[in-house]
Amino acid sequence: MPVLRLIAQRLALGVLLLFAVSVLIFAGTEILPGDVAQSILGQAATPQALENLREEMGLNQPAIVRYFQWLGGVLTGDLGTALSNRQDIAESIGRRLGNTLFLAFWAAAVSVPLAILLGLLAVRYRNGLIDKAISGTALASTSLPEFFIGYVLIFFFAVKLGWFPSVSTVYDGMPFVDRMRGIALPAAALTLVVLAHMMRMTRAAILNVMQSAYIETAELKGLSQFDIIRRHALPNAIAPIVNVVMLNLAFLVVGVVVVEVIFVYPGMGQYLVDHVSKRDVPVVQAVGLIFATVYIVLNMIADIAAILANPRLRHPR
């Protein structure tokens, strides 16, 4: 079947792309300046101690050998051991990844329905006061970087009003209400970052469909503007909307680094930054590969959803 063949092609392309990304991640960490062994032992380390540590870490082996050893470990679920604290990376990432996904889930649960609703309202009242207010606010929100939004939220809602904590501390066994209060500000920052883009793309996709002939036919039948948008425009604009939603969901997981650092949230982003400062190369490689995998998988899902939703993509000419 053509659909199954297209899906298989997308999956194969995703695997190939992930392999290429793994090569880039490993090569990028290899060309970083400095010496991992030196950063661990300090400036007072003797040459013999440095040589022994490099041999223990396998740093004396050729890069190509170390790459395939690392890739083989990744394929078997072994991400290695952190150089800075000798902890198992997979175990440490498991806890951190759960925190990041929890934060991203609630940010998505708020931003996705709200973006679609605001996009529909902007189309329903296009060129009117509501449309201009929504579009203007979205444009202003898009223009502000996430670190600025985060600091503004901390200043007003944590420092001035004291409603939420400025440091988002979460831990195992934490009550659900306390956990939700702890992630309120970082989730709000992420929501404001992705909401505007999704809303503007939703509005643009529906407006593009509104120019079609069948929309004019529906208008001539006497259907209300809301019914036309809900029953005819939105279903036919769902493919580009799904694409932009998936891209922003990927950003919610991959782009949380800045937000997690600002709020000292114990997620993947904070974990990555902590070990970058320690020059812990295996951790950087593992986290980078996980971020790349999430991004590629969500893009593949968006691509496959677009193929299933749009018959024209199943039969390219």
Q: CATH number of the domain that 235 lies in? A: 1.10.3720.10
Report the distance separating Cα 153 and Cα 137, nearest Å.
16
Q: Phi and psi dihedrals of 126, rounded to 5? A: -60, 140
On whether residue 264 sits in a domain, the answer given is: yes
pLDDT at res. 69: 80
Is 204 contained in some domain?
yes
Digits of tens for pLDDT over the chain (317 positions)? Answer: 667 777 788 888 888 988 888 888 888 777 766 666 666 666 666 777 767 767 766 666 777 887 888 888 888 877 777 777 777 788 888 888 888 888 888 888 888 888 888 887 887 777 788 878 887 887 777 777 878 888 888 888 888 888 888 888 777 778 888 888 888 888 888 888 888 878 887 787 777 777 777 766 766 777 776 777 766 676 667 777 777 777 777 777 777 788 888 888 888 888 888 777 777 778 888 888 888 888 888 888 877 777 776 666 555 55
Residue 263 carries which side chain, given as an amino acid letter? Answer: F
Q: What are the backbone dihedrals phi and psi of residue 162, each rounded to the nearest 5 degrees, phi first?
A: 70, 25
> In this structure, are residues 288 and 25 in contact, taking their beta carbons and an 8 Å threshold?
yes
- On whether residue 21 sits in a domain, the answer given is no
Residue at 221 is within a domain: yes
212 lies in a domain? yes
From residue 163, give the alpha-carbon distance in Å to each of 157, 166, 184.
6, 9, 10
Q: What is the pLDDT of residue 48?
A: 74
> Does some domain include residue 20?
no
Task: Please count the structural domains in the chain.
Answer: 1
Give me the domain span that covers residue 258: 97-277
Q: What is the pLDDT of residue 43?
A: 65
The CA-based angle 202-7-22, given to 5 degrees, is 90
Contacts of 180 (CB under 8 A, 6+ apart): 106
pLDDT of residue 32: 66
Tokens of 191: 């929501």
Tokens 């998988």 sit at which residue? Answer: 297
Residue 38's closest CA among 7, 83, 1, 69?
83
Residues 6+ apart with CB under 8 A from 258: 145, 146, 147, 150, 269
What sections of the chain are H helices per DSSP? Answer: 2-30, 36-41, 47-57, 63-75, 89-124, 129-143, 146-153, 176-209, 213-220, 225-228, 234-236, 238-254, 257-262, 268-277, 281-309, 311-314
